[in-house]
Structure 1
Amino acid sequence: MRAPLNRYSLALTAFIVCPLQAETTLPVDAGARQALSLTVYNQNLGLVRDTRQLPALSAGQPVVIEDVSRQMQTETLSINGAGAILEQTLNTNLLNHHSLLQHYLGRELSLARRNPADGEESLSAVTLLSIEGDRALVRRNEQIESIPLGQDWRFIFPQLPAHLISRPSLEFRSQGTPAPAPATISYLTGGLSWQMDYVLNLDANGQRMALEGLATLHNDTGTDFRDAGFQLLAGTINQPAPEAYRKANLAMAAMADASGMAPEAFQDYHLYSLPQRTSLLDQQHKQLPLVSQAALPVKREYRHEFLVIPRLDNQRHKSPAQTWLAFRNGADQPLPAGAVRTFAPDEQGRLQFVGGARIDHTATGQDVELQLGDAFDLSIERQQTLFSKEYDSQLLEYEVLVRNSAAADKQLQLAVNFTQPWSLEHSSLPMQQENSGRAQWTLDIPAEDKRVLRFRVRLKKPD
């Protein structure tokens, strides 16, 4: 007679007969999104804050957040509102032709070949052995064949591998939540950046200008960001060590969105909040107006400088003057670094491109100087006319000839740089000294005329 089952045996039997049901995976796509905001940096970096509605979660239930960046820095990931996180995984094994071929290496699949003569297609079973460039090696009927990928050959795959996905996704498990609630997923990601491009339009007399700045946003994250609030951070930041990412991420995530486009001073940077929500799709470059200043005073300057070296020089040097524009950022917003393209009207009033340059991050009240190019009508010739060695110094004399071929008067800022202590012995025109290693003259050259500057300097030998 069999002994009766005790309560422990009954429990074990129940476990074997009725195993625990595995929790079903909960997919959460962009349709569950309630809010989306991004902070974009100049350095291929962005901070994403994505809020989605989640149902009540069971402990350990897998949740798959779709439509996330494939360049997510997982060490910066923060999930709030979904319970205590047990584990999190970024899935970026994306489905494409190459990944399918890699999966079927050493496996059997169908090979289709189209006959170019009659268009008929034949099928045969082959084993894929290797892929190299645009050719593949297969085994068919115990023979090894090399076939070209594409053209009249194609593979037919028997099924889709479960581990290959069409879009990047984030999978996590938590200790669960008692009720439906919104959850915020925030992370730093590569693939997001922005740059500044300016158009500077001069008026007819070149004394005032209009400055328009466009921010160009780039998205190479593998996902679309629709109806998002954008903030653009102007400034260069150092990316911290991995253990410091999360603190930086949480601090940035706490920033409140500004209501307008005026920049907000944030730490040592400036934060621009775009006033309207917009969409930035994958592989998209989008331009948005960010800076607009009208009727700014501007000054056109002609400059030339050269270096005095204590040695004999018998050559006659010829070079054009450089054309510069100078203005002060007098508006109530700083100018982010970017490229500036300058246009000026011709005699018919049509704007013509006259030169470009780059500006650095420029705070309010700071001066901006742009080198446009060389002045066609203003040429400089210089020659050393004296070189004499003395006990503890060298005596050098130069002649600088400036020609103005234009029909208007010009003014040239001439600067001379020295590599060692110097003193001026003689100058045919008044000099303005900038610092110990540089001297400067202002030369007024009448239209279709010339000016000559002669100066003598003594260079003291280094001790």
Structure 2
Amino acid sequence: MHRKLRLVAVLFLSLFTFVPAARAQGGAAHLTVYDAGIAEFLEERTIELQSGVNTIEWRSLMPKAFIRTVRVMAEDAEVIRQDVSYDGTEVRSERSPVLHISIRNAGAPGPRKIQVDYLAPGVNWQNDYTLVLDATAEGAPPVSATLDSWVSVNNQTGTDLRAGTVDLVAGEIALLLGGQQYRAYDEIARQSANRREVSESVEVVTSAEAAGLSVFSRFRLGRNLSMNANAPINRFPLFQRARLRITQRLVFENEHGAQTLARGGFQLLPRGLEVRLVSQNPTEASMPAGQVNIYARDGAIAQVVGQDRIPLTPPGGEFSVTQGRSATVFGTRRILERRSSQYKDAADYSRDKLTTKVEIVLTNRGSRAVEALVREGIEPANENRWTILESSSPVERLSANTFQIKVQVPAGGKTTVSYTVETK
């Protein structure tokens, strides 16, 4: 009787083979980092499977892996069960999860590729740019620049990371984790993706491959990369020495009720025009959003002259950054008249209309004539049907409630812009 029981036990145990799969944490065949504070880890190894049911102990999951995102794939075998215990490596006073996988191998014994894919928090990335304006003659606006892009990968997992390949994903990705919806913080570029011809030769030295996907962009950062837990910020070049053509725009932009009045409201106070630098994405892939530090050359030295942000920009798309306010071109704005009155519509009904008269004076204290863009907001009223009754310069409609006037301001001189708008 005892012999029969021992025989049954031996037969039962022979059906289940325990296969150890110990490996250090943080190692991944492929790592995808999202700009929402999480990453996707794809771990892969080849394991000798016996015929029948094999139990694998997978002890390399990241400390705070999202267990409900775990996906196990077995080559020519069937995954029949996954169990999780929390008796793994201790990281920051917490035990890491351990995955116990049951795999049925209906074929002959032999090596099989096993992959475990999951999401985990604690890894993020940010992009930043260095825009160095080329030197120009005294007082002349910049016309060209060099752009570098660097990526900072933040490793807050508490363990070293190693990956065969590393991808970065930028864009609006909906992720449902723990009942909360996480979205990427960088917005999709709202600028036109229309390409324009760039006559100047473009030379880009890139360290990363890139691919555009349906709602986001993926950047291949590199291969065989490691990120030490003791150095939580790791910086890598995305591309370097990209040559850009630069167009400088001087913009005087105001809301409909703005007046550049000093304290007391009796004297106009000049305000420097906003200096915007406009260029195009010179690469064949989307540029991720990020802070840009703007430098201007002064001999052999490049000094910071402004900071702004570049939005997510498609290949060939236009982007602009604000350098600051001009120290030589100033503007004032005042409302000369604002009155409400009534008129008869086509059905002989009485309707209200608003008439506003505005005067803008641009002053150039520099030694070169400049072109300036005056952008004005229209006060919404009634049915929001507005008409420019008179204007000192041609008007270009930009949107439902904004328009633009392009004017020349002579060196050491002034240009006055006035218009009357009627809104019904």
Would the aligned equivalents of 1:316 and 1:381 in 2 still touch at CA under 8 Å?
Answer: no
* 8 A Cα contact 2:167 2:222, kept in partner: no
CA offset at residue 83 of structure 1?
Answer: 5.1
The Cα shift of 1:424 comes to 2.1
Q: How does 1:293-312 map to 2 (within 5 A)?
A: 294-309=242-257
SS of aligned partner of 1:361? coil
1:347-378 residue CA offsets vs partner (Å, 9 max, x unmatched): x3421111122222211121101122222222
Partner Cα separation in structure 1 for residue 336 and residue 6 of structure 2: 110
State the partner residue of 1:344: 296
Do structure 1's residue 186 and structure 2's residue 117 form an aligned pair?
Answer: yes
Counterpart code for 1:29: R
Identify the residue that residue 365 of structure 2 maps to in structure 1: 405
What is the deviation of 1:181?
3.2
TM-score by length of 2: 0.74
How many pairs are equivalent? 366
* Counterpart position of 1:70: 63
The answer on 1:88 being equivalent to 2:83 is yes
Are residue 366 (structure 1) and residue 366 (structure 2) matched? no
2:25 corresponds to 1:46: no
Sort the Cα spacing of 1:285 and 1:427 in 2 relative to 1 into closer, same or farther, 3 A.
Answer: same
For 1:426 and 1:12, the matched residues in 2 are separated by 104
**Contact 1:32–1:52 (CA<8 Å) still a contact in 2?**
no
Higher helix share: 1
User: What SS does the corresponding residue of 1:76 show, helix, strand or coil?
Assistant: strand
Identity of aligned residues (%): 21
Secondary structure at the aligned position of 1:407 is classed as coil
TM-score of the aligned structures, taking structure 1 as reference length = 0.69
SS at match of 2:49: coil
Q: Which residue of 411, 426, 434 maps to 2:398?
A: 434
Q: 2:338 aligns with which of 383, 387, 400?
A: 387
Following the alignment from structure 1 to structure 2, what is the Cα–Cα distance between the partners of residues 310 and 281?
A: 53
Partner of 1:103: none
Does 1:325 pair with 2:261? no
Q: Which residue pairs with 2:185 in the alignment?
A: none
Displacement of 1:331 in angstroms is 3.0
Matched with 1:172 is 101
Distance in 2 between residues matched to 1:363 and 1:290, nearest whole Å: 15
2:25, 2:59 within 8 Å by CA — same for their partners in 1? no
Greater share of strand: 2
| Superposed counterparts of 1:45-194, under 5 Å | 45-56=38-49, 63-81=56-74, 84-89=79-84, 91=86, 95=90, 169-175=98-104, 178-194=109-125
Runs of 5+ unmatched residues, structure 2? 137-141, 180-206, 343-351
> In the alignment, does 2:248 pair up with 1:284?
no
Contact 1:91 1:171 in 2 (8 A): no
Q: Give the partner amino acid of 1:287.
A: R
- Residue 256 of structure 2 aligns with an amino acid whose one-letter code is V
The answer to whether 1:447 aligns with 2:407 is no
Q: Distance in 1 between matches of 2:398 and 2:4?
A: 94
Q: Which amino acid aligns with 1:229?
A: T
Aligned counterparts of 1:306 and 1:83: Cα–Cα separation in 2:
66
Structure 2 contact 92–158 (Cα < 8 Å) conserved: no
Secondary structure (helix, strand or coil) at the match of 2:68 reads helix
For the residues of structure 2 that align with 1:315 and 1:236, how far apart are their CA atoms? 48
Q: CA RMSD in A?
A: 3.6
Give the 3 Å change call, closer, same or farther, for CA 365–227 of structure 1 in structure 2. closer
Which residue type is aligned with residue 213 of structure 1?
S
* Partner secondary structure for residue 157 of structure 2: coil
- Displacement after TM superposition at 1:13 (Å): 8.6
Indicate the SS of the match to 1:390: strand
Q: Distance in 2 between matches of 1:317 and 1:434?
A: 27
Distance 1:92-1:334 versus aligned 2 partners, 3 A rule: farther
Distance in 2 (CA, whole Å) between partners of 1:456 and 1:289 is: 52
Q: Take 1:374 and 1:92, find their aligned partners in 2: how far apart are those partners? A: 59
- Given the superposition, is the C-alpha separation of residues 85 and 317 from structure 1 closer, same or farther in structure 2, using an over 3 Å criterion? farther
Give the AA of the match of 1:225. Answer: L
SS in 2 for 1:263: strand
- Residue pair 2:19, 2:49 contacting (<8 A) in 1 also: no
1:222 match: secondary structure = coil
Amino acid at match of 1:291: F
Residues 95 and 51 of structure 1: is their aligned pair in 2 closer, same or farther, counting only changes over 3 Å?
closer
Q: Is the 8 A contact 1:32 1:53 kept in 2?
A: no
Distance 2:92 2:405 in 1: 68
Amino acid at match of 1:277: N
Contact kept? 2:212, 2:285, Cα under 8 Å? no
Aligned mates of 1:217, 1:13 — CA distance in 2: 56
d(CA) in 1 for partners of 2:70, 2:410 = 67
Aligned to 1:145: none
Q: Is the 8 A contact 1:403 1:445 kept in 2?
A: yes
Match of 2:174 in 1: 238
Aligned to 1:267: 214
CA distance 1:372–1:448, change in 2 (3 Å) = same
Distance 1:401 1:194 in 2: 45
